[in-house]
Amino acid sequence: MLHWKDPEFSAWITLDGIEAPEYAVTTYKDEGIPIITCCLASESGKKMSVNWTNMGYAQPIIGIVTFDGKDGGNTVIFAPFDFPESGHVDGITNRRGTTIKPFRFKSLELTDNETCLNRASPEKLGLIELTIKSAEIKKNPKVVLGHRAVMPLRKITLHERSKKAATQNMQILLGDSEQLAERQIFIEYPDEGPELVKFCFKYYPLGVLQANGIAPFPPQIKREASAERERALASADTEEAKILAERARTLRGELRAVEAELAKLKKGPAVKREFEAGTIDLRQLRKKVKTDSAISGEIIDLTMT
C-alpha cells in the first residue's frame, strides 16, 4: 500500500480481491505535487481494482483513474463525517447500473506486420495512474446510473520486435459483463479542484521484475536452487570418494607387496636367523665346522672373541 502523509492518503491495487505486492517504491514532487510510484506484477486474466483511502482531508475529493493513458473512470468521496473514507474503481457499468465489466489484465496483441514496426507505442502503456484532487460538488448534482469512462479501453497492437514488447506483454481491458448484487448510482462529474497527490503503478511481467532485481524470486525456487546445489555437491563428493577409494586399494596392494619382500629378507639363512635371535651355541658350531672341514680338507679359523 502506498502512502502520502500531508494530506494523508493511501492507494493500492487489488488482483482478484487480493492486494498486489508493490516493489521499488519512490516518492518525489513535480511542480509541488507529490508523486508516489511503484512497480507491480501483471497477471493475465486477473480482475483489477484501483483503491484509495482519505485518512484526514476534510473536503470532498475525486479520484481519477487512467489505464495506459486512457480514461478509466472516477469516484467522488464527499466530505467525510468519519475517517478513513475509501473509494475505488473496478470496472465500467451499463447504463442501468445493474452489470459491470471489470478491469482485467489481458495479453498484449503483437504483430509481425512491418508497417507497425516504426509505429510509436503508447507513451503510458504499462502505467496505472490515480490522481486525487479536491472537488467541488455542484449545488444541484445530477444523479446518474452506472459508472462510465469518458473513453473506451481499446486493444493496443505492437510489433513483436518493438522495444516496448520486449518488457511488456499485458494491457488493461474490460472483461465480460457480470451481474451486480445492487444497482450502482453515481453523482454527475463534479468540478475539479487542484491536485493533492498522484499515485503511479507501473506494471510489468513478474519475470521482467525478477530479472531486473526489482521483485524477489519465491522461496520455493530458492529452496530448489539450494537442493540442486546440495545434489551437485553430493555428486562431487561421491566422485571424489570413488577416486580416494581406488587410491586406497592401490596403496594397500603396494603395502602388501612391500611386506612380502620384507618377509623374504627376514627369512634368510638359518644361521643368520639364529644369530640374530641370540640362540646360537658356538661350541656346537665349532664341532660342526671341524667335522665339515675334515671332510673337505679346508682350514677355517674359528678364533672368536
Residue 263 reports pLDDT greater than 90 = no
d(CA 266, CA 286): 25
* pLDDT for residue 274: 47
d(CA 75, CA 179): 20
Determine how many CB atoms are found less than 10 A away from the CB of residue 113: 11
- Rounded mean pLDDT of the chain? 76
d(CA 209, CA 24): 10
Q: If we measure between CA atoms, which residue out of 1, 3, 6, 56 comes closest to residue 196?
A: 6
Q: What is the pLDDT of residues 15-63, one digit of tens each?
A: 999 999 999 999 999 988 999 999 999 988 899 999 999 888 888 888 8
Q: How far is CA 110 from CA 45, 127, 168, in A?
A: 17, 18, 11
159 DSSP β-pair partners:
111
Mean pLDDT check: name the lowest of 44-48, 87-91, 119-123, 167-171: 119-123
* pLDDT for residue 84: 78
Q: Summarize the confidence of residues 6-15 as an average pLDDT.
A: 91
- With residue 262 as reference, give the H or E element that holds it: helix 219-267
Residue bearing the bigger pLDDT, 51 or 240: 51
d(CA 226, CA 222): 6
Q: What is the dihedral of CA 93, 95, 97, 103, to 10 degrees?
A: 0
How large a percentage of the chain has pLDDT more than 90?
23
Q: Strands 47-54, 8-15: parallel, antiparallel or unpaired by DSSP? A: antiparallel
Q: Are 167 and 87 in contact (CB under 8 A)?
A: no
70 DSSP β-pair partners:
67
Contacts of 220 (CB under 8 A, 6+ apart): none
Q: Are 68 and 123 in contact (CB under 8 A)?
A: no
* pLDDT for residue 209: 92
Long-range (24+ apart) CB contacts under 8 A made by 239-247 are none
Q: Are 131 and 195 in contact (CB under 8 A)?
A: yes
At 136, is the pLDDT very low, low, confident or very high (cuts 50, 70, 90)? confident
Instruction: Count CA atoms closer than 13 A to 71's CA, side-chain side.
Output: 10
Residue 269 reports pLDDT greater than 70 = no
- Best-predicted range by mean pLDDT among 7-11, 67-71, 215-219, 284-288? 7-11
Residue bearing the bigger pLDDT, 21 or 245: 21
Residue 257 reports pLDDT greater than 90 = no
